[in-house]
Structures are given as C-alpha cells and as structure tokens.
Structure 1
Amino acid sequence: MTDNGGVATRGAFPVDRDPACPLDPAPEYRELREQAPIAPLSCPIGLDAWVLTRHEDIRTALVDPRLSSRGAPSNHVVPNADPDEPVAPGVLLRMDGPAHSRLRRLLTPEFTVKRIQALRPKIQRLVDEHIDAMLASTEPVDLYRDFALPIPSLVICELLGVPYADRDSFQHQTTLLVGVGGDPGATAVAAMQVQQFMAQLVLAKMEHPEDDLLSRLIRRAQETGEPLTVEELVSLGVTLLIAGHETTANMIALSTLALLRSPDQLAALRADPELAPGAVEELLRYLSIVHFGLFRYATEDVEIGEETIRAGQWLVAALSAGNREESVFPDPDTLDLTRNAKAHLAFGYGVHQCLGQQLARVELQEVFSRLYTRIPTLRLAVPFEDIRFKHDALVYGVRALPVTWD
C-alpha cells in the first residue's frame, strides 16, 4: 500500500455501480456516508486518499484554496496515471490560483447567461431537426448516436469554429480519452491526434480570426497585454471540445433512460414541459455522471469535519455520494422532478465549478421540453437488462440506447 503521508487505508475506493441498479451510485457510498463520511481508502492507481461522501464536506473541500486541483479530476482511477506529473500550460482543470483565474476570466464572457440564452433558438432548431430525422427513419434508432451525441457536438463545433465534418474523428478520440482501463497506446495516440487537430485549428484562427470562441479568446487575451500561447490555446480548446459534447450527450441519453424507468415522472414532464428546468437539476443530481468524483491535493493541513487532511495527502470529493445525501435531498434515491435540487454537486463547486454549465442546462432543457412531447410513445426497443453502461469511463452513460415508438 502507498503510505501517502500517513493515511491509514481501510478499504478500496468504490469503482462499480450496482449492476442491479445501474442508475444509482456505487452502493458502498451509502455505508461510507453513514459510518465513515471521511474515509481513508485505496484508489485504483495504488494511491491512498481520503474520500468525502457528505454534501457539506464536499462543498467545504471544493472551495478551500489549500486543496489543489493539480491532479487531473479523476486521476485516482486512471491506470498508469501520475498525479504528480507537471501541469502543462492551459490545462484549466489542473490549475490553481492566479494562473487559473487568468484563464477563467478570459473564458467567462463566452458562457454568460445572456450569451447562452441567445443560443437557445438555434438549439431548439437542432433538437427539432433531429427529432424530425428520427421520426423519418426506420425504427428502432439509437437515441445516443442519432440524437444525444450530435446535438451538443454541433453546438460546441459552432462555438469553437470547429468544422463539423471532423466530428467522427474527435468523437472517437474523446471516447478513448475519457475511458478507463483501455489500451494505453491507443489512448496516447488519441491524445496526440486531438492535440494536433486543435493546434492546426488554433494556428488557422490566429492567422485568420473569425467570429467564434477561439478567435475572440485570442483577441481578448491580446488586449490584456498577455497573449495566450499556442500551447495554452490548444489545451483550452481540447478541454472545451471534450467537455462541451461528451458530458451533455451522456446526460441526454442517460436521462431519457431514467425517465423511461420512471413512467410517472415522464408522464408529468410530458404533460407540463414547463417542468423541464427543474427536471434538468433533478436528473443532474440523480445521475451524477462524473461518477468517480474530483481529485484534490492538500498543500497545507486542512480541517474537514472531524478529520485533518495533512499537507501532502490526497482526497476525493465523491459528487455522486453527496448528491444522494438524505439530509439534503429527502428520499434521495427516488427521481422526483418537482424536487428543488439546485444544491446538487453535478457541476462541482467553487472556483472550478463547470464553466459551461449554463450551456448544458439550455441544451438539456430544450431536449426535455420537446423530445417527449413530440414522441409521446417513446420506449426502449430492447429489454433494460440489455442496455450496456459505461462503467469504464470517466463520464457515465450508455453505449447505445435503442428506442422505438408507436
């Protein structure tokens, strides 16, 4: 066992959801939350860390500047990961302090509520066009491939100025990059390819800027007197490209499956599409697709709850566990679209809270308010037991979702 500065290991970090209840977090989290809410566990990479399972403790940790994000968010479960690897320029998710704030300030104007709301009519059209295409196709269709994946991909491509014709390539690369336990060689090649693709795009934007996020980011940084380097822009572009479609695509498909498994909730949403904003928050809480949590490193001693996290120790904020805490969300294992779930942790918390959360919300709202009313008899085309889940990916979801309708 790794000593990790004196953490006494009690057990193994939960990595698998219960096959009998694949929409729920790993069952071990409930026991941990009740008996040892800040528990020393051994992570899959052989490193020991404190694992936080209470909502309040997680929020406390994620706002504490003494807990660094220098390790990639889920490096505790990625084989051969080196959490002490130097942070490359522009890797926003692994940066802290002024360096992180500088990049965050440059990006924030692109994700204001006003700017994202201006995209709503286009997102509505995309949703309707893809529903039209499904209705015109031969049943059954794969809702993940034919609907959930292309909508956020089209949106992020337009935002970044990425040619949508390149989607098959970057979607394939992304699948490898967010996987856990795959072929390290294939993952390395995918990382290299997506970096090369983004580098070519960045250089083109620097030479011939257009009206897109990358071009505006380049100009905005130049106006501050501290231009972004090509390496920084490539890292930021790759992060936005992956986060901008992978998480939302999985949320659309997994949410649809959850609603089909809760027909009373689906009927309520179908009867009143105005429930969509609240439904988004509740499904984000209920599903918690960043299911391995967030990895943090203590740069100083930190008191959380009744434990002291010593300098040099690691911790994991188990978001899915916090999102199912009974004292915060009564009857937490029940999907309730009327619940006030705004306190959920699905987007993280603190300075590293998901920058694109408003975009994800609008995309999900438009899907939830349109798909189930336009196809009211939507149902699974295969038994639930035949659905394959992404247990080995950093972003949880389904590999395919065959659906049909009357």
Structure 2
Amino acid sequence: MITTPITATLVRGALDLEHTDRGTLPHRLPARARRQIPDGQLAMAESQPSGVRLAFRTRATIVELDVIATKRVYTGAPPRPDGVYELLVDGRLAGQASAPDGDTLTIDMAAGTARSEPGPMRTLRFADLPGDDKTVEIWLPHDETTRLVALRTDATVHNAQSNGRRTWLHHGSSISHGSNAATPTGIWPALAAKLGGVDLVNLGFGGGALLDPFTARTMRDTPADLISVKIGINLVNSDAMRSRAFGPAVHGFLDTIREGHPATPLLVVSPLHCPIHERTPGPSFPDMAALAEGKLRFVATGDPAETAAGKLTLTTIRGELARIVQERADPNLGYLDGLELYGEEDNAELPLPDELHPDAATHRRIAERFARLAFGGSFTGVRGTPVPRSGDPRRTSPRSTPEAIV
C-alpha cells in the first residue's frame, strides 16, 4: 500500500487545512476569519466538512483512509447517526463507510455547555474498485468534524485534472450545511451542484448565516464563477438583529462580496417556508418537553406583536431582500424567493421533522428546484419586477418569476 500525503492538491471544497499532531483538519473558513468567530457554534459548524472531498486519479482497487471523527452527543436527545463517507468513481457512488467512534463532543443545549473527550483513530476501507484509470472522490461527512490522518492505496495517486466546471460558492444556514440530510452528497447544495454541472464550495454553516463581515470577506477573496447567499432563518431564530440594522447589513455584505467579484453572477435567496417563524419572531429554542421524550423539536418564543418594534420574521425578511435587490440595480444580481424552493404546500406534504430543518427527501426537492431556477440560464437570479403571489393577499414578499439564469 502506498501512503500519499494529504495536501491542498487533494482536497476540494475546503478553504484551509490545519495540520495538527492528530491529523489534517479541513476548514471551511480561513484562519484569519476563524480568529474572529465569536461563538462555539460557528467554530464547530465551519470545521464540519460539508461539501469537502478528496479528489485524485488512480488505478487503485483498494483505498484506505485513516480518520478521527468527532461524535456529537446531545444531552437528553436520541443518539446521532454516524457520519457517512462516500466514495465516488467517475462521479458514481461506489462505496460508503462510517467511523463507529472517535473524539466525543457532549453538548447540553439546556445548560449551554459543551465538553470534549479524545477518542481513537479508525480506518475506512474501500475495496474491489475497478482497476482502470479513474477519478476517485471521497466525500467527507457533512456534519461530523473529521481529522484526516492518512490516505493509502494499492496504486499511485495523481492529482485530479481540472474538469473545466465553473465554481459555485454558496453561503447559507444549517439547511445549506445539510441538517437532516442522510449523506454528504445528499445535501441540497451538493445535489444541485451535480444537476447544474458545477463544482461546489459550501459555506453553509449551522446557526452561522448571520451576515458576519468575516464571512463576506472570505467570499470576496475566494475564486468563484457563480455566487449565492441564502439569508434569513438564522437572523430570526437567533433574534440577532432588528429591521433597522438588517437592510444596511445586507447591503454591506453584498458590497464586500462585490469588492472581489464586481461582475460575477450573484444570487440572493430568501428563506424557505418555516411555519414557526413565518410571522413569529425569535429566538427559537429546543422544546424541552419534546427533549424529555427523547425527541428534538424547536419552538419560536417571540411575540408577533414585537414586529412593530422591529423584530424580524421570515415574511418581513423576504420583502426586504426583494426590495434591496431591486434597488441595487445590479445587472448581475438576482433574487430567488425561498418559497419557490419550499413553500406552504410543500410543508403540508413534507413537514420539517424538527420544525426547522428539512429531511432527505426535501433536500432533493429543494436541489431540483434550485437547479432548474438558478442553473437554467445566467445565474443572475430571478429577474424582472416581483409581484405578490396570486390569491395570497397576506403575502408581502414577491413571487420570483424565472428567467434565464447560467
């Protein structure tokens, strides 16, 4: 078996590799941004390698990957499934594996505490692969921090050649991160990227889509051919911002991206339908009664009357985002109403299991709709004058009308 060093030439979808005495840790934010992270939630989320994969060419029939996985344990909640590693050969799934244990991060959501314990390294083995020259990708678990210790094969590894695809840089919340998806290639951005024929760099961070300036600067400095930002749910469910600050913060976030990408197609995506926050502001918290029964569910704790004082709801945010995009008059900036990806009718058919996050089937539906709307033309989004959805006088956000987008 041949051991190949794990370097940046083998890793796609990560913006930094941290080399430690226990392996290489892929990061989705660079070190300068990580130094400005204000909380453990975002630090954890950016270290989870959503959309990150190893890619190389080889004639190997056996591939082994030594990893140290971080297992999250939520006090009072059911055990989490093990993260899934998926091996693809020339774009087709050829194997799956999981690490049964590793480091442990125990989180008590009620107390707001967390503690870590080190654990063992495990070897993932993929065998009986075709012996011809091929491109191999190993997609890392989207929601399980993973240290890469060693890569071994029974034939030489070469750098994967450029596939000529455009790079799609996306930022969003836990839904973009992949919460409740079953596999790393099953998160909606990965599915949409495959359908759209683009290479994904996923900056979807669970709980971390808060218009942070360091995230905007990261996007400014990251090469990309297509860019999208999905804004809203975390601002509501964290109760992090009021309407007075929201508009200028969105403008500032987009301005920063434009400093590095003055004419790159840029799409603003508003929130998906989420019943608990459509007209009820945050914050949202775990339902303690459900936790006592071993179930994870979230509830909105804000008062709808507080919207008059500037508290944000999803309905408010959709209207503001549409207005901002229209007022910026940027020919390469588009708007996509999140209700086109997952709306009230979809929720009736495929409800959010924990009131916030979609399941695996819904990730696929979102991906298919995004690919059709956003990758069908020029990726400048849904253009033209937004109008209310017919038959819904309560709606204050516009209905997106698809036009050529890539």
Band the TM-score falls in, shorter-chain normalisation:
under 0.3
Q: Which has the higher strand share?
A: 2
Q: Which has the higher helix share?
A: 1
- Structure of greater relative contact order (alpha carbons < 8 Å, 6+ residues apart): 1
Under a length normalisation based on structure 2, what TM-score does the superposition of the two structures give?
0.23
